[in-house]
Amino acid sequence: MSNQTIHHPIYTFSITKLQFSYFEKLNKYLNQSNDKALYKNMNSLLFTSSVPLNKISEIVDLFIIEKKSNAKHKQKIQLFFSLYKYIKVLDAVFNYWRYCSTIKKKNINYMIMWNGLKYKQNLMKLATSKYKVKIFYMENGLIPGMTTIDNKGVNYLNSVPRSPNFFLARLTNKYSKPTICTCENKKIFIPFQVNTDSQIIKYSPWIRDMYALVKTISDHCQYLPKGYKVIFKTHPKCPEDYSELFNKFEGHSHIIFDNENPTNTLIEKSEIVLTINSTVGIEGLIQYKKVITLGDAFYNIDGLVHHAGNSKQLKEIFCSIEKLEINYYLISSFLDYMINEYQIPGSWTNPDNNHFRKIITKINKFICQ
């Protein structure tokens, strides 16, 4: 039984069975009935008087972009996607009506949603905006073994402060420079991301997919000082077949694909971690590595990482890569904030009572804001 109380019913919305299972556990901890855990498909239907077709069309367009980025859909002609969009708009309207009906009938005021950037989540967000429902967003932890809950969004949309001054003012009395194992290997580790992930579709302005990432890096390797090697690793959850890409660079002198070693090991053995906007960049900071980002990342904080927002800036960074500095104080303060203030302890896949207590504390804080 919970030692804390939330004085308002908290509904949850999930689109996968794993999310739904987690929210059922949260409901049980809150002593709430199971009907507070909503799944993506709902039976209720209400034909509302108006439908925000422009916003629904934007949601469908984003979904189509995601589908086009999927390897199994790349060979389909434009006519297919034109017809598919028409069908999907009808599906979106239908779901929007269902979600509006559910919110109205249950008189929902607060909702926890997973991620909030996928197709049905965007439709639920649109429905909640009609009824002024306050949403809290959950996601995998940005720190390994932790979980995220935020009242603004996840990843690039989260509420983590973006000013270095915020972090520089935090650890005055307890900071001590960490003991760092210096790495003499001139290696740059670059993790792949999933092409269909919102981190790439929405928050990667100039690198459209992993093929473009490899081409961009290979084109810019000429600006690196002599002796540097680039280590790529594909994402374990990406279904894309990169065998042709592997063959193209087989035997290459300074571009290597390594899918054998764990990510943590590759970070440890590298001097630099370069990423579009992956949480692997955070893992690089945990090991006090130099981190370079190419996309929109919430941790694009001046002095924390080095950001290249275009080809010219990447060239400049590569030309001066040996002079890149590490602000140990800023990294330590940032990580302290993330671990002790922002993130929830424990993985959502194996939550304990302390995990749920921290979730409730956060929710109460959000409600009072």
Q: With helix as H, strand as E and coil as C, how does 26-72 read?
A: HHHHCCCCHHHEEECCCCCCCCCCCCCHHHHHHHHHHHHHHHHHCHH
Amino acid at residue number 177: K
Whether residue 1 is contained in a domain is answered as: no
Can you give the pLDDT at residue 142? 96
Q: Is 229 helix (H, G, I), strand (E, B) or coil?
A: strand
Whether residue 148 is contained in a domain is answered as: no
Can you give the pLDDT at residue 35? 86
178: Cα separation from own chain's centroid: 28
Domain that holds residue 173: 164-338
Which CATH number characterizes residue 122's domain? 3.40.50
Structure tokens, 38: 């909503």
CA distance 71 to 242: 10
Provide the whole-model pTM: 0.91
Positive/negative CA dihedral, 109, 113, 115, 120: negative
* Same domain? 117 vs 214: no
Whether residue 63 is contained in a domain is answered as: no
Q: Is 59 exposed, middle or buried (0-12, 13-18, 19+ CB in 10 A)?
A: buried
* Same domain? 226 vs 348: no
Q: Which of 19, 327, 21 is nearest to 177 (CA)?
A: 327
Whether residue 198 is contained in a domain is answered as: yes
* Same domain? 133 vs 277: no
The domain tally of the chain equals 2
For 23, 40, 229, 328, the CA distances from 33, given in Å and listed in that order, are 11, 18, 56, 48
CA distance 349 to 17: 12
| Per-residue pLDDT in tens (0 to 9) along the chain, 369 residues | 445 677 789 999 999 999 999 999 999 998 888 889 999 888 776 666 689 999 999 999 999 888 888 766 666 666 777 788 899 999 999 999 999 999 999 999 999 999 999 999 999 999 999 999 999 999 999 999 999 999 999 999 999 999 999 999 887 666 666 666 666 679 999 999 999 899 999 999 999 999 999 999 999 999 999 999 999 999 988 888 899 999 999 888 899 999 999 999 999 999 999 999 999 999 999 999 999 999 999 999 999 999 999 999 999 999 999 999 999 999 999 999 999 999 999 999 999 999 999 999 999 999 988
> Token pair 């650890």 is at which residue?
171
**356-360, long-range: CB within 8 Å, 24+ apart, which pairs?**
356/2, 356/25, 356/26, 356/29, 357/2, 357/3, 357/4, 359/26, 359/147, 359/149, 360/2, 360/4, 360/6, 360/29, 360/30
CA distance 73 to 362: 40
Whether residue 28 is contained in a domain is answered as: yes
